[in-house]
Amino acid sequence: MTFLAWSNSFRDKLINWVAGVPARVQTKLLVAFLTIVGLLIVLGAVSLQVLNGINYQTEELIKLQRKIAAYRQVQHDTTNQLYNISTALVLRDDRMLDTALRQLGQFGYDLDRLAFVAKDESELLARVQREYGEFINVVTRVVQLVRSGSVAEAQEVQLKQSVPLADRLERLTNQLVNIAEADMVAAIEATENAYRTSRTVVIAFAIGSILLALGLGYVISWSLIEPVKKIETRLGQIAAGEFTQRVDVANRDELGLLAADVNRTSEELGNLYRQLAAASRHKSEFLANTSHELRTPLNAILGYTELIQDDIYGPVPEKIREVLNRVQSNGRHLLGLINDVLDLSKIEAGQLTLSINDYSMKEVVQTVVTTTGSLAAAKKLNLKTVIEEGLPSGRGDERRITQALLNLVGNAIKFTETGEVGIKAAAANGAFQIAVVDTGPGIPLEHQQRIFDEFQQVDSSSTRKKGGTGLGLSISKKIIELHGGRIWVESEPGKGSTFRFTLPVQLNMGEKSA
Amino acid sequence: MSKRILVVEDQEDNRRIVRDLLTSVGFELVEATTGEEGVQQAKLHSPDLILMDIQMPVLDGYEATRQIKSMPELRHIPIIVVTSYAMSGDEAKAQSAGADAYVAKPFSPRELLSKIQSLLS
């Protein structure tokens, strides 16, 4: 496994682990922020600690420096003392002797300072003090001897006692200076080492903290983003009607709950969808069966009636023929009602499938005119057509389009008592523009929308008077809309009605379901 | 010589209407009540025309039509398929099964007669 693959798998494991922590998102974020704040505090404390250490080292260095200066002073004083006494002995100068004595006091001060500064070299220092005490005594004696005139004795003492003492003192102080200087060098080196170490510690700690904070942020972010993305994808699938999948997230927080809810919703929706599909299938099966069951006996009734009318079973008396005609027209009406109801149910259930073929709108209009011609003639209505020259060939369900136009023209004839019914067919902007114009009673504005709804006629009395189910317009509207067209009415009471619809010339689909 | 017509139809009333209609104008009738029987009767009697209902149990009208049209000795016999209303696509299916014409229920006996006569002439 390459390092990259390993780190990726490690990353995923870490993200999954964080996602799987059974805590609320809020808590996780709080813990992350607190961790980062804690790291900052610790970093600050470490830095302060390092600064303090450096400060202490500096102070130590200053002390050492002072100590060295003091040792040197002692050395210098001793030498000075010897020089002064020697000069005084040679010159026999009283002032020089005073200076020498005065300097002995200065010695005491220097030694006090030494006592303050020196700790490590206390033994050595004690010897210096002892020697120094002796030195002071010897010098004092030399001065007394000089003053009392015993110069030769003073010289004797000076040579035999002061000089060796001074030599010893010089060696001792030299030793002290050497020790202190060595200490100083060691201290400087130690300081440098300490500084380097501290710097490394601080930098390492800072880098570690930054990496940890970044890592923590990254892992927490992805432990939140990953499930949100998954849930988003899943919701998209649900919206597209895919109910079988599940969304799996490692989270045991609010996002985990959300994912569980999405899964439950999806399951419920899936169940509902299956139930609906089953119900819809049952409904369409029922419709198909009903359609067959209802029509079969009715077809037989209509068939026998026509055979009787055609004298197949012998000559029919005029009176009976008249009744037979009524049986036939009522039978046809019943069949029409059944067909309308079943058609509409099929459309509502989304079961109506258009069978798309090439057709001629001119032929559709002519079929409608042929079918309704006798009806118009019976009411002495003029049925006229205006078909634009060179109509393009259409593509759609010819039978359904014919049915839609037939309903409109049938209605127009049904509701018009005098005058004419006109059918106009033209094409513009890739759509057929069809109008059915009548000189009937017209439709009040408040009814013009409602008449396209199921079981609506201008008033319920007209249903009884004119017959029909009140489903024709509704069916026509749905057929036209299935083809991507639009239907509307322009009318004014007393001035007739014009039903217009547009129908795309080309329905570019193999099949289309409602 | 009178023309012989085979009626394949499971409904007694529909058979009777067609029988009464066609015998009244002098056709000879052979009847079958199932698709299988229709195919057998067609082989047995070689009728001049077959009237085939679509909705029949087991072997439906399409399949029976397809079988008859696949037999070289019977292929020439015109078949009129009787489709049920509102079953969109029936015409196309009837055509692809090899039917020569179709009438949709409810058919008017007069229209059926004229269609038969035009196919036989």
Look at A140 and A261; give whichever has higher pLDDT.
A261
Tell which B residues from 61 to 120 touch A, by Cβ distance under 8 Å: 84-89, 92, 105-110
By CA distance, what is B24's nearest residue in A? A312
pLDDT at A449 over 60: yes
Residue type, A393: S
- The answer to whether A504 touches A483, Cβ cutoff 8 Å, is yes
pLDDT band at B1 (very low <50, low <70, confident <90, very high): low
Report the pLDDT value the prediction gives residue B89, as an integer from 0 to 100. Answer: 62
By CA distance, what is B54's nearest residue in A? A292
Q: Do A355 and B88 touch (CB under 8 A)?
A: yes
Closest Cα of chain B to A304: distance in Å? 6
Q: Please, which residues have CB within 8 angstroms of residue A25's CB and are 6 or more apart in sequence?
A: A224, A253, A254, A255
> From the candidates B84, B90, B93, B102, which should be mutated to test the interface with A, based on the most A CB atoms within 10 A?
B84
Report the pLDDT value the prediction gives residue A19, as an integer from 0 to 100. Answer: 84
Helix (H) or strand (E) holding A247: none
pLDDT band at A466 (very low <50, low <70, confident <90, very high): low
Distance CA(B108)–CA(B104), nearest Å, equals 9
Neighbours of A348 (CB within 10 A): 14
Report the pLDDT value the prediction gives residue A357, as an integer from 0 to 100. Answer: 85
Is B20 an interface residue toward A (CB < 8 Å)? yes
Q: To 10 degrees, the CA torsion angle through A142, A148, A150, A151?
A: 60
Q: Which of A295, A122, A135 is nearest to B107 (CA)?
A: A295
Report the pLDDT value the prediction gives residue B23, as an integer from 0 to 100. Answer: 93
Helix (H) or strand (E) holding A292: helix A254-309
Report the pLDDT value the prediction gives residue A124, as an integer from 0 to 100. Answer: 81
Determine if residue B50 is left, alpha or beta; phi over 0 gives left, psi from -120 to 50 gives alpha, anything else beta: beta
Q: What is the mean pLDDT of residues A195-211?
A: 88
Token readout for A329 is: 């027209």
Three-state SS at B79: strand
pLDDT in tens, A92-113: 777 877 877 777 777 667 677 6
Distance CA(A513)–CA(A397), nearest Å, equals 12
pLDDT in tens, A321-357: 999 999 998 998 888 888 887 777 777 767 677 878 8
Report the pLDDT value the prediction gives residue A321, as an integer from 0 to 100. Answer: 93
- The answer to whether A180 touches A67, Cβ cutoff 8 Å, is yes
Report the pLDDT value the prediction gives residue A115, as an integer from 0 to 100. Answer: 62
Length of chain A in residues, anyone?
A: 514
Q: To 10 degrees, the CA torsion angle through A59, A60, A61, A62?
A: 50
pLDDT at A464 over 60: no
Determine if residue B53 is left, alpha or beta; phi over 0 gives left, psi from -120 to 50 gives alpha, anything else beta: beta
pLDDT in tens, A37-57: 998 898 889 889 888 888 888
Q: What is the mean pLDDT of residues A207-235?
A: 90
Distance CA(A40)–CA(A383), nearest Å, equals 94
pLDDT at A458 over 60: no
Helix (H) or strand (E) holding A492: none
Q: Which of A469, A493, A489 is nearest to A477 (CA)?
A: A489
Distance CA(B40)–CA(A358), nearest Å, equals 38
Q: Do B88 and A352 touch (CB under 8 A)?
A: yes
Q: Looking at A265-274, A315-324, A456-465, which range is the least confident one?
A: A456-465
Q: Please, which residues have CB within 8 angstroms of residue A54's CB and are 6 or more apart in sequence?
A: A191, A194, A195, A198
Distance CA(A285)–CA(A275), nearest Å, equals 15
Q: To 10 degrees, the CA torsion angle through A145, A149, A150, A154?
A: 50
Q: Which of A507, A488, A299 is nearest to A400 (CA)?
A: A507
Name the DSSP letter for residue A389.
T
> From the candidates A290, A302, A359, which should be mutated to test the interface with B, based on the most B CB atoms within 10 A?
A302
Distance CA(A122)–CA(A207), nearest Å, equals 46
What residue has token string 């800072």? A206
Q: Looking at A138-147, A367-376, A465-474, B46-55, which range is the least confident one?
A: A465-474
Q: What is the mean pLDDT of residues A403-413?
A: 91
Is B19 an interface residue toward A (CB < 8 Å)? no
Distance CA(B74)–CA(B70), nearest Å, equals 8
Report the pLDDT value the prediction gives residue A117, as an integer from 0 to 100. Answer: 61
- The answer to whether A472 touches A410, Cβ cutoff 8 Å, is yes
Closest Cα of chain A to B68: distance in Å? 26
Q: What CA–CA distances, in Å, run from A403 to A240, A328, A435, A468, A502?
A: 34, 21, 15, 15, 15
Q: Do B86 and A304 touch (CB under 8 A)?
A: no
Distance CA(B38)–CA(B28), nearest Å, equals 16
Q: What percent of chain A has pLDDT over 70?
A: 92
Is B13 an interface residue toward A (CB < 8 Å)? yes
pLDDT at B5 over 50: yes
For residue A295, give the nearest of B24, B105, B110 by CB distance. Answer: B105
pLDDT band at B77 (very low <50, low <70, confident <90, very high): very high
Q: What is the mean pLDDT of residues A149-154?
A: 82
Report the pLDDT value the prediction gives residue A456, as an integer from 0 to 100. Answer: 54
Q: Do B89 and A353 touch (CB under 8 A)?
A: yes
* Burial letters A367-402, b for 16+ CB under 10 A, else e: bbbeebeeebeeeebebeeeeeeebeebbbbbbbbb
pLDDT band at A1 (very low <50, low <70, confident <90, very high): low
pLDDT in tens, B12-59: 999 999 999 999 999 999 999 999 999 999 999 999 999 999 888 888
Residue A355 pairs in a beta bridge with A511
In A240-253, which residue ranges form alpha helices assigned H by DSSP? none
Token readout for A264 is: 């439950």
Token readout for B39 is: 């195919």
For residue A307, give the nearest of B11, B84, B109 by CB distance. Answer: B109
Report the pLDDT value the prediction gives residue A513, as an integer from 0 to 100. Answer: 43
Report the pLDDT value the prediction gives residue A114, as an integer from 0 to 100. Answer: 66
Q: What pTM was estimated for this model as a whole?
A: 0.50
pLDDT band at A130 (very low <50, low <70, confident <90, very high): confident
For residue B84, give the nearest of A292, A343, A397 by CB distance. Answer: A292
Q: Looking at A3-17, A391-405, A441-455, which range is the least confident one?
A: A441-455
Report the pLDDT value the prediction gives residue A14, as an integer from 0 to 100. Answer: 85
Q: Do A299 and B24 touch (CB under 8 A)?
A: no
Q: What is the mean pLDDT of residues A245-253?
A: 87
Greatest mean pLDDT among A71-85, A423-437, B84-98 lies in A423-437
Q: Which of A471, A465, A405, A466 is nearest to A434 (CA)?
A: A405
Please, what is the angle between helix A254-309 and helix A163-239, to 10°? 10
pLDDT in tens, A266-308: 999 999 999 988 887 787 778 767 777 888 888 899 999 999 9
Q: What is the mean pLDDT of residues A128-155?
A: 83
Name the DSSP letter for residue A446.
G
Residue B52 pairs in a beta bridge with B8, B81
- The answer to whether B88 touches A355, Cβ cutoff 8 Å, is yes
> From the candidates A293, A304, A306, which should be mutated to test the interface with B, based on the most B CB atoms within 10 A?
A306
Q: Do A307 and B92 touch (CB under 8 A)?
A: no
What residue has token string 């067909």? A339
Distance CA(A462)–CA(A240), nearest Å, equals 46
Contacts of A288 in chain B (CB under 8 A): 87
Distance CA(A420)–CA(A413), nearest Å, equals 8
Look at A121 and B112; give whichever has higher pLDDT.
B112
Three-state SS at A361: helix
Tell whether omega for the bond before B106 is within 30 degrees of 0, i.e. cis: yes
By CA distance, what is B91's nearest residue in A? A355
Average pLDDT along chain A:
84
